[in-house]
Copies of this chain bind each other. A is one copy, B any other.
Amino acid sequence: MEHIRQYIDEHKDRFLQELFGLIRIPSVSSVPEHKEDMLKAAEYWRKSLREAGCDRIEIFPTDGNPIVYGEKIIDPSLPTVLVYGHYDVMPVDPVELWKSNPFKPEVRDGKIFARGADDDKGQSFMHAKAFELMVRTKTLPCNVKFMIEGEEEIGSANIAPFCTNHKDLLKSDIILVSDTGMIALDTPSITVGLRGLAYMQVEVTGPNIDLHSGIFGGAVANPINALTKMIASLTDDNGRIAIPGFYEDVVEITREERDEMAKAPFDEAAYMKSLALEELYGEAGFTTKERTGIRPTLDVNGIWGGYTAEGTKTVLPSKAYAKISMRLVPNQDYVKIGKLFEAHFKTLAPKYVKVKVDALHGGQAYVSPMDTIGYKAASKAVETVLGKRPIPVRSGGSIPIITQFEEILGVKTILMGFGLESDAIHSPNENYPLENFYKGIETIPYFYKYFTEMYQGEL
């Protein structure tokens, strides 16, 4: 397999420049002003897949952003890998904290700095380039399909209907996704669990207009004061979520499994130091890795109301808002949790305010079994390139669509990600080490090779 490194060495600068072209398109899916950019990013993927060697490519419009589909079928009797990724990215605010323009990728200290450098432009583009490599070196061992969407960061609302309507088109034996991370290149890991997500927005209204806080303060309830009390009561002193029924469907993990998980290397002191924290905080009775891996949580992702600019304004505002999301574990249903949240939040509201609760998006948790040829092929591919057998880990993040892929298409997903915790995805100065980008491109062809061999029962 010497041809793999050789091809990468010869084309590595072009690979990077092509990725930069994709990154330069500010395809922020949550901001309506970027609508045109979503189409540009889809177009960029169409062109990339054509140049890489797909022999059928189509951009499917949806009610939201389009889905790019590409395929190369070399032999119907061979297995088919369906690659899933997304071309949309998170917003960039607070933009003033970026050291360089988030949409002008820059390499510093061996890392690409840009929004989407890792999540998921950098990671998904590795698949386009690995595919090109296999096509050009005539080593593609199986059929390949690509499905690249533009709404992953806002809940993937349109990909499930797309899958339902295109089951034949998407027929495959394994779904391969690089949208997660590993512990380190010298401590490789593969994500075998993802948390679910229920993302809510609440609006609390006091008086019908903004009031003068002197003239009305004390007599008219302040909706921000009310909102803080309501949110404060959502979690108790032990870091547990105080919504009735919230933990009802949580499956407790056995002591054995927890002991197994605890074997993954984790340097808590370094973790705290990297975040400049004096103390960690989470649900009592669980370790840091357990708190993100196997326990649900509730975070306020945003809060706003009243006067928030420089200086002072003595206002008693009419409204206050918060975006509150809950990460869920396997067996918790995000629709049910969203309803429990809404019902509970409304009961928290005193009569002197009005409350509106909206579910913005959600998805189910996922657990990937390790006894499948998909997992085994990924594990072996990573071990071949990085020299160590990867550790299976449960990640705290969510890719809500993964559960639905299995439900609709009946196919398992392998989360073979090359990101690092230090990549600052969703944050200012998102980055992706060049080495991870190239090691990812190097690993993917091995996955295709081992998966095809295992599928054919040769191993």
Interface residues of A (CB under 8 A from B): 29-32, 90-91, 93-94, 97, 153-155, 181, 195, 197, 199, 206-222, 224-225, 227-229, 231-233, 235, 275-283, 288-289, 291-292, 295-317, 320-323, 325, 327, 350-352, 360-361, 395-398, 421, 424-429
| Chain A to chain B contacts (Cβ below 8 Å), 29 pairs | A30-B312, A91-B307, A94-B210, A199-B314, A209-B429, A212-B425, A213-B325, A214-B395, A215-B395, A218-B327, A219-B280, A220-B277, A222-B299, A224-B303, A228-B232, A231-B232, A277-B352, A301-B312, A301-B313, A301-B316, A301-B317, A302-B307, A302-B315, A302-B317, A303-B305, A303-B306, A304-B304, A307-B323, A312-B360
Cβ of B327 and Cβ of A361 under 8 Å apart? Answer: no
**Most B CB within 10 A of own CB, among A90, A155, A313, A323:** A313
> Complex: how many Å from CA A207 to CA B427?
12
For A231, list chain B residues within 8 Å (CB): 224-225, 228, 232
Instruction: Assess A214 versus B327: contact at CB under 8 Å? Given A219-B280, A224-B303, A301-B307.
Output: yes
Q: Of A31, A307, A425, which is in contact with the most chain B CB atoms at under 10 Å from its CB?
A: A307
Contact partner of A275 (CB less than 8 A), chosen from B207, B309, B325, is B207
Distance in angstroms between the alpha carbons of A130 and B210 in the assembled complex:
32
Q: Which residues of B contact A229 (CB under 8 A)?
A: 228, 232
Closest Cβ of chain B to A147, distance in Å, is 22
Once the chains bind, are B299 and A213 in contact (CB under 8 Å)?
yes
Task: Tell me the minimal C-beta distance from A289 to chain B in angstroms.
Answer: 8
Taking CB atoms, residues of chain B closer than 8 Å to A315 are 301-302, 426-427
Nearest CB of B to A399, in Å = 9
Nearest Cβ on chain B to A183's Cβ, whole angstroms: 12
Q: Which residues of the partner chain B approach A305 to less than 8 Å between Cβ atoms? A: 300, 302-304
Docked CA distance A424–B314 (Å)? 12
Name the CB-closest residue of B to A30: B311
Q: When chains A and B are docked, how far (Å) is the Cα of A296 from the Cα of B427?
A: 41
Q: Contact at B428–A210, with CB atoms within 8 Å?
A: yes
Query: Of B31, B327, B360, which contacts A217 at CB under 8 A?
Result: B327
Q: Are B155 and A312 in contact (CB under 8 A)?
A: yes
Query: Which chain B positions have C-beta within 8 A of A317?
Result: 301-302
Q: Which 8 A-B pairs have the closest CB atoms?
A: A30-B311, A214-B397, A218-B297, A302-B306, A232-B232, A221-B281, A208-B276, A224-B300
CB distance from A6 to the nearest CB of B (A): 35
A306 to B155 Cα, complex, angstroms? 19
Q: Is the CB of A312 within 8 A of B154?
A: yes
Q: Which residues of B contact A323 (CB under 8 A)?
A: 306-308, 312-313
**With a CB–CB cut-off of 8 A, which chain B residues contact A313?**
30, 90-91, 153, 301-302, 323, 426
Closest to A421 in B: B215
**Other than the known A214-B398, A219-B280, what 11 A-B pairs have Cβ atoms closer than 8 Å?**
A30-B312, A93-B309, A209-B427, A210-B426, A218-B299, A227-B303, A228-B303, A301-B314, A303-B305, A303-B308, A303-B320
B350 with A279: CB separation less than 8 A: yes
Residue numbers in B under 8 Å from A211 (CB-CB): 275, 426-427
Complex Cα distance A215/B215, Å? 45
Bound-state Cα–Cα, A152 to B200, Å = 40
Contacts of A429 in B (CB 8 A): 209
In the complex, residue of chain B having the shortest beta-carbon distance to the beta carbon of A119 = B212
Q: Is the CB of A195 within 8 A of B214?
A: yes
C-alpha spacing A325/B225, complex, angstroms: 12
Q: How far apart sit A206 and B325, CA to CA, in the bound complex (Å)?
A: 18
User: Residue A280 contacts which of B217, B220, B278 (CB distance < 8 angstroms)?
Assistant: B220
Pick the residue among B31, B218, B222, B227 that contacts A292 (CB under 8 A).
B218
